[in-house]
Amino acid sequence: MFQSHLFNAEPSHKTHRVCNFLMISAMATATFAGTAHAQDRDPMLFYDANGLKVRGHLQFGLNAVAERNLFWDLAGTTAPGSGFDADTNWLEGYIKPGVSFEYQLDAGTVLYGKLSAVSSYTWGTDAFDTGDNGETTLEEAYLAVRGQLGSGLSYDLSVGPRELSLGTGMLVSNGATSGFERGALKFGPRKAWEKAAIAKLSYGNLTGTAFYLDPNELPSKDGKNELAGVDLRYDDPAGGYLGATFVSVLNSETPYPQAAPGGVGAPSVTPGAREDTKTIGLYAKTNPFEGGLQNWTFTGDLAYQWNDRIDLEAWAGRVTAGYTFANTPWTPNVTLGYQSFSGDDPDTTKLERFDPLYYQGSPSAWATGSKSASTFINSNVNALTLAVRVQPTRQDTVTLRYAHIRANELNSPVQFGQATRVDINGNVVSGVTDSHLADDVFLEYSRIINRNTFLTAGVSVSFPGAGIDNVINGSADPWTGGFVNVVINF
């Protein structure tokens, strides 16, 4: 009854483990802005005349990965006949070409759009025992219009596949799946929603967004999901923000697991349970403080989730406190955070398991741990996190991340229901019997080589906690790994 990969049934859209290159790209723009010359010609600007601009886009990356004792080699003890190799190396790459346009109409209205594709491949066998495969898929293909309505109002309407991230990326961010038959598991180059209709209305610093989204899922695991909702956000010019997101699942075949009564027995699985699930999330970040709190930054996220059809009521949240040593060499920044996602209580008939939907799973966003983020989704887990970042130069950044990860509910599905097994007393159990899951340490180095080229390297280790050790009735060994990648973006 035990599945060899323990908890990893649906990790593919949660595995953005490399640096968020878009953030580094913005840093590169600022870093090299002072050296740009007015006469420099943009080689990707194909046409600029008569109110029409046509621009090319090209992004590609190569990532070398090594993993040792994958998933703490639990399969070696619990499913020795599976043939799963806990030590592996692989190379993955992708290329993302595209073209976009902007056409200036009368009265300041702009018609714009973009067409792009992703081709990715994995050479060797990746962490989920898949490799030597890849796929080419459509990425963005949208047409949009933006303009002014007068009295300070502006609008932006679009239809077609494109990227959309709301708030801090807690619920709605990663619209596409990579890995498995598509290749490039860790890079996760696909981000655009397969279908999207997005309407934004702005007044000053206040923006309202209404959306309909259909994620670009793997053909082999397509849950037929459709989402709709609204987001309202206020951005203060000083840097803080305050917002709220409401998401409703209009259609879905995605199942939910529920713990067995008392935690004894295999979890029950309800097909299509995600349909009608509704979530409201609040998010906020403080403005810069003066006086005694100068250089401090605080953030908060809180989500409440319900589904009356299946008697679901769940919650999640995060708080962080960050301090920047602004007058110290290398400008160190220290951020302490705590995040928690409810799990299903085996002693109730209600379902309390939080569904994280389509969150941004990079270490700088909503990953629960570094290694552990490939094992546990943001459900029935909590984590105390610490990040220390230094910048020896404007082009170099070193970040050390630590996460202490625990389960919220014992004998309850931690990810989806894997790790259902027979214990030493002959009882069928699920989840873990001790809340301590793992302690993850991740050291990452990022280098802006030039305005178009970015290097990222990292090493990480996950020390299993008593919850993992108890699964094998022994002491599991640490899981280690590293990567180095280059991304080039035009």
Which tens digit of pLDDT belongs to each residue from 464-483? 999 999 888 889 999 999 99
| Position with higher pLDDT, 332 vs 77 | 332
Which tens digit of pLDDT belongs to each residue from 335-387? 999 999 999 999 999 999 999 999 999 999 999 999 999 889 999 999 999 99
Check residue 225 and give its pLDDT. Answer: 97
Calculate the average pLDDT of the chain: 90
Which tens digit of pLDDT belongs to each residue from 451-461? 999 999 999 99
Domain ranges of the chain: 12-35+51-489
What is the end-to-end Cα distance of the chain in Å, rounded? 49
Check residue 78 and give its pLDDT. Answer: 73
Check residue 92 and give its pLDDT. Answer: 98
Which tens digit of pLDDT belongs to each residue from 64-96? 999 999 999 988 877 777 788 999 999 999 999
Q: How would residue 150 be classed by pLDDT, with cut points 50, 70 and 90?
A: confident
Class of domain 12-35+51-489: mainly beta
The pTM of this model reads 0.90
Mean pLDDT of the region 212-236: 96
